[in-house]
A and B are shown apart, each in its own frame.
Chain A
């Protein structure tokens, strides 16, 4: 076994050398060959981590290597180089790495270091931290047989690496293969037979050679189609860890899809990648940020939310922040920044402190839901309010009455009498409230602000037990009643009045205790009333009275009363004297439940206890002597009377309904906090939430990259600008590499998420820099990059494997053939829907649920059901399929789609028996087979109604190219055999065709054919 390991190690070491720019054994590259060894074997103890460094020897910096204590490296002199002495020492006390270390240096690695020292020990900055170059390809006019060389720069760079190895690219792929490849790559769907035939004749010569300008039109058409955005958004959503639910135990639904739609739209609009970045990181901070720019900040709202009873919300907010730092690192910088959460990075130059400085840049946001303005809703609201006015004016005519004129006159009189009586009644109830405004106010964690109308507004973070302290200087003596108004506000979750933003009813509060001390004396309240109270959990009392019962576990809440004003009125045992009032309000459940907006008022009049208030404007009118009322005021009161009198209840119900605020779609967004309430960021020792140390940090970028301080503001917008700064050596490379990987299955840097010292160096460094620099100079246009790639012959070559070349390059690193890759889960499903002719091209909107076998979601918490959508929503593109984190869509999971729980830079491409079973047996695919087969049996014209024509049609719907005669024979033989079986078995026929009034053996047998074709390797592969 040990021998095997060594063999493997040797093999890998050898490939490392081969991968480099130059194959010459006499030219060791520090970046390519040496630093990875030092990083892997030495940096843990002699690297960037100050805490872990065990001696003064430091090997991760130029100074440390050459000028450090002990002379680790003396160029040209191995025996004087302490590092070399140590790694070759026989004495176990001297040997490095220490004999008990997990990581031991190999002979091959020793040899590399020796040669490097002997050759003069040139030091270079890490390749990915060096500025992006704009290399020019050398013009290579050699015509290799079979491959037509244009002067496409991509081909030149690829060729320059192939030639020394005796490799060359394949011939051009055949037209149908190439058309299908282009469609799958650019829009994530195959062409229809008609489209394929059209492009076969227009974009290719009869012999199958590309006609460049027509081919370019094909590419342009695809890149500018709406389906393009749906295809490429899905890849971005993998990085964004997009999901339609919160994750963890409860995994409730969330309003995330407006962000998903934003991504699709932005991509279709060809938004430059730098702007695409800035809007997602900090769209809310742009001047006069639009709704769309605010929705874009959903990128970092895709973090999970734990709504489990009993969690500490701030702890899980911290975890969300660590996810944001790590995801930003992976997505834009291709760095494993997450490693520095607990301690300084062991391999890369990212310190523990820098990790939290990056976090500080992002840490100053609130996480509200944005109501998306909707002109249609506004219009409907206006229509409703106009209708309300009409209905109110018509109310008197509905007063119960006889038919004669006399009756009608009498009725007017009756209404007047009743109105007068109502006014009198109301006046005995209504109090003359005076708002009191606090002179001082504070809270344990929420940020309180006093607003102009005497309201107190809370924002920021909250805990499971919040305490508000308010101090008032009250003038009037003998206060007989105190009123709390809990007020709605668009800034609050679900418009408030509460701050509850997880687990409970969003926008609710739970006011458990209300204590008032006046001039040092505790005030006793004897009674209290509320206008509305409802509990979300349990059947116990929730009421204003429970605020004054001394029990911290009971309180007042307004479940299902969100977006409305509610009041509670409290009566003291004795009138309360003037002076210094100190009020303490306790809020608490096992989740945050503080009041978001409230106002306090006092009254000195003597009235019965009641919280049944009319709207404040009406209440004020009721305080005016009836004789002093203007006619307008009188009419307002009269309308209010009519709205509340029982004789008209039947007619006022509709008015109440029409007055309800129409719901607006909401979206999870980030919102920069006001400067008055900054959130501090500290270093967390060992990455632990409760274990902070040191002073509050100012945000900053990474020192190893381009400068941050002095160039950018220390906030999210600064971070976004720093990421896409032309100085940044990483972002453009990381993005270009990831797009390359989308087409070729592998990146130029194979470790898509690690451009650090431990990542693999680029196989084609010049090509990578060419793509990265051209991306930027072409205004960060990803569409440009895609067109650039697919118009290269490297992309257009055949995937047929040449056995000789396979031996030279089994991993196809040098692209002497087009790499075949299994297509993504979403594309497999969408393609089969398209081939069945049932794919819906409807774009955008809430997530949908395609059919899947029973018992998938039921294993998640609460055993939620998955009721498949009806109609066209059943057959929408997979990007619209609901992503439930704790119970992912089964077909997607089987084909390696991510669960949306963490940033995914690269998907696996597994090949399993479960995939075979899914394609063959899953109910969704069975439906697709039945639909396709039905269309085959419906082919009626003489030309295509033969079985042979049907078989060709079935084959081409799925695989685009025509079948070979052998393939056709196989399919027809199978078909006739199945047909005979079904003809003698009606029951089986019915079962196989599914819902059908006219089940035929033909339909069943074609269903079987399609089912086999959908299962082919070629069907799920990009050839």
Chain B
């Protein structure tokens, strides 16, 4: 059925409606109930049993996943160093690729006739499923039987910002909602106390910028909320110095009473919403510090992730992500940038796997032992892959690197109804083109939504004269990877 109710109702109470339905941190139930009483117009398909917070559409069909953790490897890791061994590249090192392979692909930096570069790491097969992984991923090897590896992923974009936007929003330019925004829009929140959609950033800045977690044309409440590595985890969640907890509480009380006086005079329900948003802010001030308080975690757990609980790191972000999932956060982005190996692909890979391999693998293990992996989808991968050809440029001081490669690269997923110990997708002997089971970024996006019980063709929003989808007019769910 066409979701006509998604047509933006540009009403004076739009903000209240979105607040009620979608605000990352819920209102108090009493306030909510009284507000909903005024809101027959906005009766929603189904309220969340736990929070009373409805999404805009609920699921289209039963989904396995309740939460998603997206480990976004910004800058693009080299699939040729990590996932697919290509002996031909070693054999032909230094020689150009056949023209028939190259086609008319445009490159960011290299000339198409650059020689090929053999893999810089040794490969092995791991687990009962014999997953192929290089020695640069020793920790991932220990969860090989829990993940699905997709070796023939392809994308439309070959530069960072557009490709990162493409992966995270389905479109190569800013302005579209991110996956997390779509999911929050559709399913609403599972918690009253934390944002439903959280973003953590553990490397340098990302090329795609805030557009990667923007709500685009969806209402702004669907934007991802940044969880910061240093200082207070959420912007302004900390009471300013010198203001005691009791003074803060007294302030909240005064604000509430004065707002209630106004409500009595004006009788605009929007004032109730404002009152509720302050109640929520007060709760957030308690729940955010509790979330990042890692003293609650055992040493064994900290060791599993390999994280120093006091220092921002990718591993710490993974542990926080697990804690968020436990507390009902719906969608978590962890951006780790630094993979852009135009030079020294070996050193770059070593450096970045050193920072991310243990944390990623620990996250899968930890979720599994807590019984959360089945309902949590974990995704790992970059915005594109890297060329079989070498990149070197004395003017730019580059050697032994690889350029951007959109035709074929690797991502993995785990949990949330994705098969365990599974791999699909084959590339040619150069790792240049897919030869079997290619999956497009829009397919990945359709699959993410499917694990949550959402049909990417029916999750639409009317904007600028037409119904928009995360996957535009493309995308097919990767059915053979689903349990």
Contact = CB atoms under 8 A, between A and B. Distances in A.
A877 to B, nearest CB: 22
A1018 B160 contact: no
A936 to B, nearest CB: 16
A1 B3 CA distance: 12
B465 A1012 contact: no
A612 interface: no
A647 B419 CA distance: 82
Contact of A901 (B15, B211, B393): B211
B268 interface: yes
B192 to A, nearest CB: 10
A821 interface: yes
A888 B210 contact: yes
B159 A247 contact: no
B158 interface: yes
A248 B273 CA distance: 36
7 contacts: A304-B174, A339-B464, A347-B466, A758-B466, A856-B235, A913-B284, A974-B250
A920 B420 CA distance: 47
Interface string B45-70: 11000000000001000000000000
Contacts of A715: none
Contacts of B160: 249, 308
Contacts of A803: 267
A19 to B, nearest CB: 12
A58 interface: no
A970 B209 contact: no
Interface stretch (B78-86, B224-232, B350-358, B374-382): B224-232
A12 B13 contact: no
B121 interface: no
Contact of B262 (A249, A760, A978, A1016): A1016
Given A347-B466, A800-B265, A913 B277 contact: yes
B395 A553 contact: yes
A972 B228 CA distance: 37
B25 interface: yes
B247 interface: yes
- Most chain A C-beta atoms within 10 Å of own C-beta, residue among B58, B220, B228, B258: B258
Interface in A975-1023: 977-978, 981, 987-992, 1004, 1008, 1011-1013, 1015-1018, 1021, 1023
A1018 B214 CA distance: 29
Contacts of A752: 10
Interface stretch (B200-208, B316-324, B359-367): B200-208
A11 B45 contact: no
Given A917-B281, A1016-B262, A1018-B262, A912 B204 contact: no
Contact of B1 (A104, A981, A1011): A104
A860 interface: yes
A914 to B, nearest CB: 7
Interface string B256-295: 0111011001111011011101101100110000000000
Given A1-B46, A4-B45, A913-B277, A310 B206 contact: no
B250 A964 contact: no
Nearest to A915: B277
B242 A899 contact: no
Most buried by A among B242, B262, B396: B242
Contacts of B258: 967, 970-971, 1012-1013, 1016
B76 to A, nearest CB: 12
Contacts of B257: 970
Interface of B: 1-5, 7-8, 10-16, 18-19, 23-25, 38, 41, 43-46, 58, 106-109, 158-162, 173-175, 201, 204-211, 214, 219-221, 223, 225-226, 228, 230-231, 234-244, 246-248, 250-251, 254-255, 257-259, 261-262, 265-268, 270-271, 273-275, 277-278, 280-281, 284-285, 393-397, 403-404, 457-458, 462, 464-466
Residue among A745, A752, A894, A901 having the largest count of chain B Cβ atoms under 10 Å: A901
B394 A540 contact: yes
Interface in A328-381: 330, 335-336, 338-339, 345-348
Contacts of B211: 886, 899, 901
B113 to A, nearest CB: 12
Contact of B465 (A345, A555, A861, A862): A345
Given A859-B226, A981-B247, A989-B242, A553 B458 contact: no
A435 interface: no
A756 B15 CA distance: 25
A886 B210 contact: yes
Interface string A229-261: 000000000000000000111010000000000
Contacts of A990: 242
Given A1-B45, A911-B15, A309 B109 contact: yes
B395 A811 contact: no
Contacts of B242: 987-992, 1004
Given A1-B45, A1-B46, A310-B159, A1017 B13 contact: no
Given A310-B109, A974-B250, A554 B239 contact: no
A902 B228 CA distance: 27
A361 to B, nearest CB: 21
A931 interface: no
Contacts of B214: 899
| Chain A residues touching B, range | 35 or more
Interface stretch (A419-427, A472-480, A483-491, A531-539): A531-539
Nearest to A853: B235
What 5 pairs between A and B have smallest CB-CB spacing?
A310-B108, A886-B209, A336-B465, A991-B242, A916-B281
A858 B205 CA distance: 7
Contacts of B248: 920
A820 B12 CA distance: 8
B464 A754 contact: yes
B280 A756 contact: no
Contacts of A926: 240
Contacts of A306: 159, 161-162
Given A863-B204, A1015-B251, 15 more contacts: A104-B1, A247-B174, A310-B109, A338-B465, A590-B108, A750-B10, A801-B268, A812-B12, A861-B205, A890-B235, A899-B210, A911-B277, A913-B23, A914-B236, A1012-B258
A521 interface: no
Given A820-B268, A920-B236, A970-B254, A811 B11 contact: yes
Contact of B239 (A539, A542, A590, A921): A921
A430 B312 CA distance: 64
B230 A799 contact: no
A745 B12 contact: yes
Nearest to B464: A336
Given A8-B43, A917-B234, A249 B207 contact: yes
Q: Which of B210, B237, B251, B396 has the most CB of A within 10 A?
A: B210
Nearest to B8: A751
B175 A102 contact: no
A6 B235 CA distance: 41
Contacts of B240: 921, 923, 926, 991-992
B284 A336 contact: no
Contacts of B107: 310
Contacts of B11: 746, 750, 811
A990 B241 CA distance: 9
A538 B397 contact: yes
Contacts of B235: 853, 856, 890, 894, 914, 917-918
A104 B213 CA distance: 33
A719 to B, nearest CB: 20
A319 B207 CA distance: 18
B342 to A, nearest CB: 8
Interface in A795-817: 799-803, 806, 810-812
B108 A753 contact: no
A822 interface: yes
A295 B136 CA distance: 55
Interface in A580-598: 590
A863 B4 contact: no
